[in-house]
A and B are shown apart, each in its own frame.
Chain A
Amino acid sequence: MAKLLLEKVEKRYEGFHAIKGVDLSIDDREFVVFVGPSGCGKTTLLRMIAGLEEISGGDFSIDGVRANDIPPDKRGLAMVFQTYALYPHMTVAENMGFALKMAKVPKAEIERKVAHAAEMLQLDKVLARRPKALSGGQRQRVAIGRAIVRNPKGFLFDEPLSNLDAALRVQMRTELVKLNKQLETTMIYVTHDQVEAMTMADRIVVLNGGIVEQVGSPLELYHNPANLFVAGFIGSPKMNLLQGVVSARDDAGADVKLDDGGSIRVAAANIAAAPGLRVTLGIRPEHTALAADGEIGGTADFVEHLGNETLVYVRRPGEAQMIVKADDLAGVRMGDPVRMKPQPARAVLFGPDGKALLRREFHLR
């Protein structure tokens, strides 16, 4: 059981305001991912939750009890560090049992718990080894095992996969999500990698410059980015952002006249924009097609063949580059003139302040 509540939580260092008033509620058993660029405050926020950094302002509570001044060891949370932070002079078994030993837990019980965690994490064959003699993935699992044996209310992960190679990272990603369901505990996971965030999270918290830009499920963030920052951060390749002016508005949507000519239809029920408003139109590469009757023109600058898809980087004179996810057999070559057609039902609009002007309900089929 661990329900975490952050209310107007702040962190001020001398001459630096790291966390600027974060409100967040994390439910029991939820897998929440903090994501954002480096220096956005995600690790600081996690360390504040762990108790390793003091909270300068606001309230933080665990299961309804104010926890601002509770020392880290009394919070009932376990943390897994990016560097694993294993005790180098102890064996795997000693590493996992150390906290219990210090808490004077009977030896037999320690052994039972360590054996259970080791089996769950496939570490039973390396229990007598030192961290030095383990692979990166095994070290990572020892760090997780060390957390599991304490049976914590919640797990805190600080970029735990960034030191692993790509294949192992993908494997560990699914294992961590399974672990979350298996252990039925709250997990908070910090990463700068939006793919990790999208694939693992029940809910994603996007942080930027010490503030929360948006909180939502992966699909919510993908379909309804609340602002330009989230639009640019979530999704790979990035969402295309085009400048223009709203030229017409009706119940079913709006027409946007782009600065480089061409008019694009945005289909959505409630758009908070009147004709004449300067807007940024966002459309993802996968929602843009190459079509002879497309509204936007340009030149194929670069073509990336990834096998399952082909990315076409389109240069437009005086405007930002656009990316289109095309059919793998589209046959576009570098230097070809192309025309692009966005799907009206997938385009989003942002006002001059960078905030979204519409929000679509989406239904999973």
Chain B
Amino acid sequence: MKPSLASRVVLATLAWAAALIMVFPILWMLVTAFKTEGQAIAIPPLLIFTPKLRSFFDATQNAGYLLFALNSVIVSVGATVLAIAIAFPAAYALAFFPGKRTEFTLMWMLSTKMLPAVGVLMPIYLFLKNVHLLDTRLGLVAIDTLMNLPIVVWMLYSFFKDIPHEILEAARVDGVGPRQQMIHLLLPLAGPGVASTALLSVILAWNEAFWSINVTASHAGTLAAYIARFSAPEGLFWAKLSAASVLAVAPILVFGSLTQRRLVRGLTFGAVK
């Protein structure tokens, strides 16, 4: 039965309202970024004003945006490359040489993600301090790698499971070693899956805020730490904070929407085949 016009109108209105409520903070942030500080705190809020780029200038000029952005790129790409390099052989072993403990190992890896990160803040902070990796990119790369490793292993594992195991068995009988199998067979065959996994890992590392804020400062801070600085001692400067947030969110948002198709396909690959 086709729903009546009235019910369709009500449904559409509700849906749009829900979407608007959810996206409003981000829209408001975008709008505020183009205001002056005075306009930003005006009550009632200004809806019509002349957009200015002043806040963006302030946010980048005095706060070293480029360094933080560079850190974000280095940390997220570095952590992704490292995580895939470690997870690839692990997923290969789990997928093609399953043993009695394979399932347990997979569950155990995932279970580490159930622990609240703040629960291990102290030991990890002290550890990084003692090995002199506080506020270094290397330290943050290591943490992000380990944070994302379970998910990366899981994703690669599920992609590998979709590859007929006879293909690798044929290679084994033909004298092709594990390293060659991974490079010449698994990588090309699971290419789209590896790409989706890498994309997700980059996004997760880019958005990671807890560790970035807590174990880095001016040297290795990522854009997450950069935003956090604007709510610091000087008090709140809404326009500048908004501009900084826009600058932090924009790159990954653009990146995400460009790769969206691949990402969605990768994430649903095993589920809907």
B-contacting 9-mer, from A96-104, A114-122, A250-258, A267-275: A96-104
A-contacting 9-mer, from B21-29, B124-132, B169-177, B234-242: B169-177
When distances are taken between beta carbons in the complex, the residues of chain B under 8 Å from A98 are 171, 174, 176, 184
Q: Which of A58-97 contact B (CB under 8 A)?
A: 71-75, 77-79, 81-83, 85-89
Quick check: A50 and B173 within 8 Å, CB to CB?
Answer: yes
Quick check: B185 and A78 within 8 Å, CB to CB?
Answer: no
Quick check: B174 and A73 within 8 Å, CB to CB?
Answer: yes
Q: Which of A240-257 contact B (CB under 8 A)?
A: none
Quick check: A73 and B170 within 8 Å, CB to CB?
Answer: no
A75 CA to B164 CA in the complex, in Å?
23
Pick the residue among B169, B176, B188 that contacts A89 (CB under 8 A).
B188
Kindly provide the distance from the CB of B245 to the nearest chain A CB, expressed in whole angstroms: 43
Quick check: A52 and B184 within 8 Å, CB to CB?
Answer: no
Kindly provide the distance from the CB of B190 to the nearest chain A CB, expressed in whole angstroms: 11
Interface size on B (CB < 8 Å)? 18
For residue A150, CB closer than 8 A to chain B, the reply is: yes
For residue A218, CB closer than 8 A to chain B, the reply is: no
When distances are taken between beta carbons in the complex, the residues of chain B under 8 Å from A153 are none
For residue A11, CB closer than 8 A to chain B, the reply is: no
A71 CA to B175 CA in the complex, in Å?
9
Interface size on A (CB < 8 Å)? 28
When distances are taken between beta carbons in the complex, the residues of chain A under 8 Å from B189 are 88-89
Quick check: B188 and A78 within 8 Å, CB to CB?
Answer: no
Given contacts A81-B169, A85-B167, contact A102 B185 (CB under 8 A): no
Question: Which of B169, B170, B180 has the most A CB atoms < 10 Å from its CB?
Answer: B170
Quick check: A72 and B180 within 8 Å, CB to CB?
Answer: no
Pick the residue among A14, A83, A89, A146 that contacts B174 (CB under 8 A).
A146
Quick check: A81 and B170 within 8 Å, CB to CB?
Answer: yes
A260 CA to B164 CA in the complex, in Å?
55
Quick check: A73 and B185 within 8 Å, CB to CB?
Answer: no
Q: Which 3 A-B pairs have the closest CB atoms?
A: A73-B175, A99-B174, A85-B166
Q: Residues on B close to A: CB < 8 A? A: 100, 164, 166-167, 169-177, 180, 184-185, 188-189
20 contacts between A and B (CB under 8 A): A51-B173, A52-B169, A72-B173, A78-B173, A79-B169, A79-B170, A79-B173, A81-B166, A81-B169, A85-B166, A85-B167, A85-B170, A89-B188, A98-B174, A98-B176, A98-B184, A102-B175, A102-B184, A150-B175, A156-B173
